Each structure stands twice: as structure tokens, then as C-alpha cells.
């Protein structure tokens, strides 16, 4: 999963004169290096089991050389998919699968764009370079690529809801601050430091993000409720000096990670002023964990790492942390989860990475074993997103595919 420290990237952007070119280079490197490229050997998928959910395969982009980033918010309930694709020799491009075909969303004249989220209307949030060639500008795509914010002024949109509200980070008065857009771009301010960002928004207009504290060294997550307009609320800490928010559900629960008093990184669940340490799969013997996504029931998915650097995906159901990894595998990750508690990610054995799903009833399942009439030679490498219908976006050895549950 993407282990970049979001706020550190933001600080770099807002404190250097070369903020945009460096930000784009980092974003492109993350896209090409961390998105489950599928390089290396891949065994043929095993034969399908006699029972269990099976899937039809829809090819979204057939390109073995391309690399794709699709966030958990990159698929809606109508199986429309958005994200970012790139080839090693070409810039990143935002795309949309509209249920029929995959289209390039374009840019504002700078040749580069990235998309992060889609709502039930098929509207997409992201950013694109303008004619200056080096300044990201937020966009809302609703059939037309529409610039959000002031032309020529830095901004990046990361999430949106069905009410048309968008969040991200933008330059206000020379500083990078979290913003909320609902017709106009509003500066949400900070927790006292110079920089902040908003990373997610729920259906009720509650926003999760991160901010520097006074002194511009310590980073804390925050929650903001647009219904009340009250100031940003600090999520607090687990005794350490850093808390990072990554996702929020409709109940206002937030996940991400925080340092504890010993400095160890721990996955968190925040709700109603209480920040909970979710621990690790190894208990007190675990080295680190981090949460990536949270569903409506408060189930959290992420990764847990042992002191020997062995990494496993996890699902935390509110009481127990369950491993997401195939038997005998050396690496696992859980990246997304739907309202019904089905998690998706990947598992790796001897350098071979396969896309997986997890449910409480079945545990971890290799998605390659669940395909109906799969194209010859197709190998599913990394499951990136899932909707409440159970449709899954997957990076494969032949580009990006969508798995749709068979009736």
C-alpha cells in the first residue's frame, strides 16, 4: 500500500519553490512503484473451486505495461470506475470507466491528470496540470472537466460525496490549507500550523484530514463537520507526536494511524472524541500497523508488520484483528472493504502476487480461483477497490479489470 506520509509531501510542496515539479515526480513515482505493477513471475491461476462466489471479467484497460492507481473511493455502486494510469515513459492520466467504455478525462493544458474518487452520479474528483505545465489544479468531472478554484493557483481534490461537496488541499494566502468545495472553495484552516489537507468526506459533510500544529513539526489528524462549521477538531494521539487520518465513514468514524508513547505506529479508529489503538496481528510483539479504509460498520482494513518485516493484511471487526493473507504467503495487504465486510487486497508467495478477497465466513481467497471464463493467461495481481454490490477493481498482468459477481 502507499506508505507515503501525506503531510510530509504537503509540507515539501508548500515550503519549496519547486513544489509542483517535485510533487508530480513523487506522485508519478508512487503511482508506478506502489500500485501493484505485476512485474516478476506469475504462476497460472489455479482451477476454480467447486463452490463460492464467482466473477465475470470486464476488461477496463488492456495494457500490460500500464500501471494503475484506484483508491477505495474509485468505484461507485453502478460499477463506474475512476483512477490514474501511466506507462513508464508517459505522464499519468486520469480515466473513467462509465459502464460502457474507458475514457481519458483530459487535463487543463499541462498533459498530466490524476483522479481519486467518484460519486453515485458518476462525478469525479482529482487534479490536472494547467497551461503553466507545473501547477496542479483541482477538477470536477461531470461530463466536462471543470476547474475548481482559481486558475494558476495550486489545488488538489481528493474526495467528494453525493451532495457535490469536494475536499482536498489548496494554496490560500501563500499557504497550503485543507479546503471544502460546495460551489465555492472554502479554506478550512489548520490546527495552528502552516499546512493542512482534507483527505476524505462522508455523506453528511464530515471531513477527515491532517494538519501541522504550531511550530510546523508535529502532525495531527482532524475532523471537521460542515453542518456546524465549528473549528477543526484534533483527533488527539496515542501518546506519541503524530496522528494521520486516511478515511471517514458516514458515522463519523475515522481510521489511519498514530504513534504510541513508545513511538510505534498503530492503526486507529476514532469516534466521538475517542482514539482507539487497534494493535497488531502479533499483539504486543507486533512492530507496526496502519489503517487504510473503514466501512459503515466500523470495520477497518490495513496492514500489520512484525519485527522481522513480515507483513500481513488485516480486517479489524471492532473486537478482533483478522489476518488477510493466503496460507504460506510472505506478504499480504488489505486495501478496501465494502459495507458487507468483504475486504480485498493481495497476497504474495515467493515473489508471486495474487489478488485476494476476505470474508469472515471464508477467510482469505485467491480471486484467481473464482473467475468464470477468464481470458487465457489472465492473472489477477492486486485488488484495489470494491463496492457494496461486490464488484472489484483489480490490477492484472494485462491491465485493469473489473470483476462482477455472477448471478
Q: For the chain of 407 residues, list the mean pLDDT of each consecutive stretch of 10.
A: 39 32 31 34 40 91 96 98 94 97 97 98 97 92 96 96 97 95 97 98 98 97 97 97 97 98 96 98 89 98 93 97 96 98 97 97 97 96 98 98 97
> Are 343 and 248 part of one and the same domain?
no
> Are 61 and 82 part of one and the same domain?
no
DSSP E strand boundaries for 9-101: 55-61, 67-69, 81-86, 93-97
Beta-carbon-side half-sphere exposure of residue 325 (alpha carbons within 13 Å)? 23
Phi, psi angles (nearest 5°) of residue 369 = -85, 0
> Are 251 and 341 part of one and the same domain?
no
> Which pLDDT value is given to residue 56?
98
> Are 58 and 96 part of one and the same domain?
no
* Final residue belonging to a domain, choices 217, 247, 277: 277
Among the residues of 163-291, which ranges form H helices? none
Q: Are the beta carbons of 258 and 241 closer than 8 angstroms?
A: no
> Are 93 and 227 part of one and the same domain?
yes
> Are 268 and 306 part of one and the same domain?
no
> Are 197 and 317 part of one and the same domain?
no
CB atoms within 10 A of CB 252: 15
Query: C-alpha angle 231/150/104, rounded to 5°?
Result: 105
For the chain, the domain total comes to 2
* Final residue belonging to a domain, choices 256, 277, 298: 277
> Are 89 and 127 part of one and the same domain?
yes
> Are 229 and 378 part of one and the same domain?
no
- For residue 319, give its domain range: 40-65+286-407
> Are 264 and 294 part of one and the same domain?
no
> Are 162 and 185 part of one and the same domain?
yes
- Helical packing angle, 6-15 and 19-34, nearest 10°: 150
> Which pLDDT value is given to residue 106?
97
- CATH number of the domain residue 17 falls in: 2.120.10.30
Strands of 155-160's sheet in order across = 155-160, 166-172, 175-181, 185-189
> Are 161 and 309 part of one and the same domain?
no
* Final residue belonging to a domain, choices 277, 294, 318: 277
Query: Would you list the DSSP string of 53-77?
Result: --EEEEEEE--TT-EEE--TTSB-T
> Which pLDDT value is given to residue 51?
53
Query: C-alpha angle 137/143/144, rounded to 5°?
Result: 40
Q: Which helix (H) or strand (E) holds 22?
A: helix 19-34
> Which pLDDT value is given to residue 285?
74
Amino acid at each position: 500500500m502507499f506508505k507515503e506520509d501525506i503531510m510530509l509531501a504537503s509540507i515539501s510542496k508548500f515550503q519549496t519553490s519547486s513544489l509542483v515539479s517535485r510533487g508530480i515526480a513523487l506522485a508519478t513515482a508512487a503511482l508506478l512503484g506502489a500500485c501493484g505493477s505485476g512485474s516478476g513471475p506469475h504462476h497460472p491461476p489455479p482451477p476454480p473451486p467447486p463452490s463460492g462466489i464467482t466473477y465475470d471479467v470486464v476488461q477496463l484497460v488492456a495494457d500490460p505495461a500500464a500501471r494503475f492507481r484506484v483508491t477505495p473511493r474509485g468505484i461507485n455502486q453502478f460499477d463506474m470506475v475512476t483512477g490514474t494510469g501511466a506507462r513508464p515513459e508517459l505522464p499519468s492520466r486520469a480515466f473513467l470507466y462509465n459502464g460502457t467504455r474507458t475514457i481519458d478525462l483530459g487535463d487543463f493544458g499541462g498533459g498530466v491528470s490524476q483522479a481519486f474518487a467518484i460519486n453515485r452520479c458518476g462525478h469525479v474528483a482529482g487534479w490536472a496540470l494547467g497551461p503553466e505545465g507545473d501547477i496542479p489544479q483541482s477538477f470536477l468531472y461531470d461530463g466536462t472537466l471543470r476547474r475548481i478554484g482559481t486558475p494558476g493557483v495550486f489545488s488538489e481534490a481528493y474526495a467528494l460525496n453525493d451532495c457535490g461537496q469536494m475536499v482536498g488541499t489548496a494554496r490560500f494566502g501563500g499557504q497550503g490549507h485543507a479546503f471544502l468545495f460546495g460551489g465555492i472553495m472554502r479554506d478550512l484552516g489548520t490546527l495552528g500550523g502552516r499546512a493542512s489537507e482534507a483527505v476524505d468526506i462522508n455523506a453528511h459533510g464530515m471531513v477527515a484530514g491532517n494538519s501541522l500544529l504550531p511550530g510546523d513539526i508535529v502532525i495531527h489528524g482532524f475532523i471537521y463537520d460542515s453542518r456546524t462549521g465549528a473549528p477543526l477538531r484534533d483527533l488527539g494521539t496515542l501518546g506519541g507526536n503524530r496522528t494521520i487520518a486516511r478515511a471517514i465513514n458516514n458515522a463519523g468514524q475515522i481510521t489511519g494511524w498514530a504513534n504510541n508513547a513508545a513511538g510505534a505506529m498503530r492503526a486507529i479508529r476514532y469516534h466521538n472524541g475517542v482514539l482507539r489503538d487497534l494493535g497488531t496481528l502479533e499483539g504486543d510483539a507486533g512492530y507496526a500497523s496502519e489503517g487504510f479504509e473503514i466501512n459503515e460498520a466500523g470495520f477497518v482494513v490495513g496492514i500489520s508488520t512484525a519485527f522481522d518485516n513480515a507483513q500481513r493484511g488485516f480486517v479489524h471487526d471492532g473486537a478482533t484483528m483478522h489476518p488477510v493473507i493466503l496460507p504460506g504467503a510472505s506478504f499480504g495487504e488489505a486495501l478496501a472493504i465494502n459495507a458487507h465486510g468483504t475486504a480485498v487486497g493481495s497476497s504474495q508467495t515467493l515473489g508471486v502476487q495474487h489478488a485476494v478477497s476476505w470474508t469472515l465466513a471464508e477467510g482469505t481467497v485467491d480471486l484467481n480461483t473464482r473467475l468464470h471464463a477468464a481470458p487465457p493467461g489472465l492473472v489477477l495481481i492486486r485488488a484495489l477497490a470494491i463496492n457494496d454490490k461486490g464488484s472489484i477493481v483489480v490490477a492484472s498482468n494485462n491491465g485493469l479489470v473489473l470483476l462482477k459477481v455472477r448471478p
